[in-house]
Structure 1
Amino acid sequence: MTDDGFEAATGDGPAPAAAPGAADRRAAEVRVAFDGLLQIRRLTNPAGGDPAAVPAAWERNRPVRAVALALEAAGLAPSAVDAEGRRVATGYRVVPGEGPGTVRVEWLGPPGSGAAQQEDAALAECARALDRLGWECLLYRGPRKRRFLEAEPSPPPRGAP
């Protein structure tokens, strides 16, 4: 969260605040932001169909934020880093993908956290959450045999803007 408003957790930010009630406040903020995203889809879907069917133009223009919000709203934990950039929490990390409009979703954690052993199941859960919202996901194996997802928005229906 910034002073400017809500920011979805990409997995490269600080660990969640441990203050009493902080988790509940964050969950409420995520719900409001995700409901707003679905409302944007409802208002911009020319066919008036299922708002979960395809990402809206807002999401296509901000895919890292949109995917991070979708994952956080699905209840998946983001990774986190400390002030020196060291991983301090295990979870997803969303960064821009290789191609325009794509994102890369990784499952990362601090050394010794077991993140590498969790990544197959965790990335499958990430893919399910994104698939339900109209994101197409492909699983790849990258450097050091670590897996990651590449996600991109499903194409809009024919005749859509």
Structure 2
Amino acid sequence: MHSITPPQSVAVRRPERDTDGLEGRRPTLDALVGKGLAVHVPGAKRTCLTEEGRQLHAHLNSTAFTPSPALPTSVLDDLVFRADDGSWQCDTPAPARQAEVELAWAAVLGQRRLHTSEQIPAPWELEQPVRAASLALEASGQQSAARDEYGRCVRAGYRVEESGRLGSPRISVKLPDSWTAVGHEDRKESAELTDFYSQNLTLYALALDRSGWTCRVIDRGYMSGSFIIAAPHKA
């Protein structure tokens, strides 16, 4: 049996139902390909399980989960790990940040399994939905928005906020200020911005759904403020 890391185990445990497509960060998927457990499909732009990978998937999902010291819940502490909700700019180098996110997400899945299953958010996630949804999005490879020291949006991406509904975060798409600034060389046309909004809302909803959250998309285009209201999957 292959020796795999917690993030690789997460990817193998929960492929897409119909295609065996895997979700995870590129280095995680590349590592699975190197082990012969998955293969990159260029035309489809996805990574799928091989026959050996499907056998491992069946084994992992038939094996009772035993809490492991490799999944410390302490990584979720705000003093150690801060979920990226799109309201700030993370200055941690990409490889180190990726390792932090993968470890934190593995810990979340470990907590979920102790309560119900990987697809049902744990109690703490219902109490801190912004933090939980932010981690789910970042762990799935989605890009967060970022702001500079003056509060200006400098990178397009997701923004997670309170929605006013208990346990239900609000997720929206934020655009760099330069994309809508009159006369700026980076300014985009309205149709392009609307398409960008719609496409990214769909990506966020798919990522959240695979991570244990049911999403309702309110798509009104960028000028009217499109957003998602997410709610935890129920057992």
Q: State if a TM-score over 0.5 links the two structures.
A: yes
1:123 equivalent to 2:189? Answer no
8 Å contact from structure 1 (residues 116, 146) kept in 2: no
SS of the aligned residue for 1:106 comes to: strand
Correspondence 1:87-126 to 2 at 5 A: 87-111=153-177, 112=179, 114=188, 116-126=194-204
Tell me the equivalent position of 1:31. Answer: 102
Identity of aligned residues (%): 36
Greater relative contact order (CA < 8 Å, ≥ 6 in sequence): 1
Structure 1 residue corresponding to 2:132, chosen from 66, 77, 81: 66
User: Does the 8 A contact of 2:161 with 2:171 survive in 1?
Assistant: yes
Once the two structures are TM-superposed, the CA of residue 136 in structure 1 deviates from its matched residue by: 0.9
1:9 maps onto 2:84 in alignment: yes
Q: Which runs of 5+ in 2 are unaligned?
A: 1-76, 180-185
Distance apart, 1:144 and its partner CA: 3.1
Paired residues, number? 146
RMSD: 2.0
Larger Rg: 2
Gaps of 5+ in 1: none
TM-score by length of 2: 0.58
Amino acid corresponding to residue 127 of structure 1 in structure 2: A
Distance 1:3 1:121, change over 3 A: closer
How far the C-alpha of 1:101 sits from its partner, in A, is 1.1
Deviation, 1:119, is 1.3
The aligned residue for residue 138 of structure 1 is 216
Closer, same or farther in 2 for the Cα pair 1:120/1:25, shift >3 Å? same
CA–CA separation in structure 2 for the residues paired with 1:117 and 1:13? 25
Q: TM-score, normalised by structure 1?
A: 0.83
Residue among 128, 132, 152 paired with 1:86: 152
